[in-house]
A = this chain, B = another copy of it.
């Protein structure tokens, strides 16, 4: 009977959500999680669901995927909260994408035009209009794009609820369990090894974030091209006097820094994040903290007096084209769900739905077909 089960390598939001969906459908599932906090993107993230604010100029299919997942969020959250009785801090605040300098404004206008071309619901605001929407914005903010469709969750509450959901539905979460090897038999997976113990299963899902390409036993030609992209992040404690209610996003042209400030229900204001190609390093740096604090202070001067609750760095799993790697592989029974880069939290409902569907029915949906590992081969 154990041979029937699905083994999931990685207990971030991707692995847990797939596990939860499978367990709900009656499938045997074991999720292996090495360390919830240590550098993991799901833990370090700010829980932004912001495909509109993040629109750039090369990635319309990825944008559509994000919008699809965003649309799935209300039902996904309702189901998860009903299953577990745990709130995940889903907030439909909207994002104010703000600019200060002339260069910022030129960039903002360019983005705005592109958003409009894509048919997205966004609005151009002058400084005063932006401050009317978020009174904590500083006087330096000269214009903004209002993205009402962008939302957020509390990423840590989401991780916790998914873990509960998985276990309530009959799945198993093995915490502190580092998968040491993918165990193969000819061209199909047989299971995974953790220390001395081999767990057998019908399928293995690789959802180990930026560590996905490093799993021993994985044949070289199947290694997903994911790399760590370091993000430093600061959590501030909001006070009664300084409590913004809108997510503010500031692409600071002069320093090529993109900073968001996301107020959370629990009282944290999450200020993130740098984007650094530094391998698996998770050290905080003077420059990283400086860039975040400067940008935050320029657009929300009230942050100046807020206590720093936490500083940390996480590692996003970046793929070669910034899009996730989803679906079957040339190895029987091995499924990929990794490489979500900056959009892991956003893409969770979509990934959980289509990957669990694939596992349960064998069908690869047209939605995820363009995002298979084959595109890199």
A305-B311 Cα distance, complex, nearest whole Å: 16
Whether B287 lies near A294 (C-beta < 8 A) is no
A159-B205 Cα distance, complex, nearest whole Å: 54
A308 at interface (Cβ–Cβ under 8 A)? Answer: yes
Whether B307 lies near A287 (C-beta < 8 A) is no
Whether A308 lies near B284 (C-beta < 8 A) is yes
Whether A293 lies near B304 (C-beta < 8 A) is no
A289-B294 Cα distance, complex, nearest whole Å: 10
Whether B305 lies near A287 (C-beta < 8 A) is yes
Whether A294 lies near B294 (C-beta < 8 A) is yes
Pick from B234, B236, B287: contact of A297, CB under 8 Å: B287
* Residues of B contacting A290 in the complex (Cβ-Cβ under 8 angstroms): 290, 293-294, 297, 304
A283 at interface (Cβ–Cβ under 8 A)? Answer: yes
* Residues of B contacting A294 in the complex (Cβ-Cβ under 8 angstroms): 290, 294
* Residues of B contacting A287 in the complex (Cβ-Cβ under 8 angstroms): 297, 303-305
* Residues of B contacting A303 in the complex (Cβ-Cβ under 8 angstroms): 286-287
Whether A308 lies near B293 (C-beta < 8 A) is no
Size range of the chain A interface in the assembly: 20 to 34
* Residues of B contacting A234 in the complex (Cβ-Cβ under 8 angstroms): 286
User: Which of chain A's residues 299-351 have a Cβ closer than 8 Å to chain B?
Assistant: 303-308, 311
Whether A304 lies near B289 (C-beta < 8 A) is no
Whether A286 lies near B306 (C-beta < 8 A) is yes
A296 at interface (Cβ–Cβ under 8 A)? Answer: yes
In the complex, the chain B residue whose C-beta lies closest to that of A234 is: B286
* Residues of B contacting A271 in the complex (Cβ-Cβ under 8 angstroms): 286
Which of A289, A294, A296: most chain B Cβ within 10 A?
A289
A43-B285 Cα distance, complex, nearest whole Å: 22
In the complex, the chain B residue whose C-beta lies closest to that of A290 is: B293
Which of A236, A286, A287: most chain B Cβ within 10 A?
A286
A293-B291 Cα distance, complex, nearest whole Å: 9
A285-B271 Cα distance, complex, nearest whole Å: 13
Proximity string of chain A (90-111) to chain B, C-beta cutoff 8 Å, 1 when within and 0 when not: 0000000000000000000000
Jot down 6 A-B pairs with beta carbons below 8 A, ordered by A. Answer: A285-B305, A286-B296, A286-B305, A287-B304, A308-B311, A311-B311
Additional 14 contacts, C-beta under 8 A, given A287-B297, A290-B290:
A234-B286, A283-B308, A284-B308, A285-B307, A286-B296, A286-B303, A286-B304, A286-B305, A286-B307, A287-B305, A289-B293, A290-B297, A294-B294, A311-B311
Closest 9 CB pairs of A and B: A287-B304, A290-B293, A283-B307, A284-B308, A286-B303, A286-B306, A286-B293, A236-B286, A285-B307
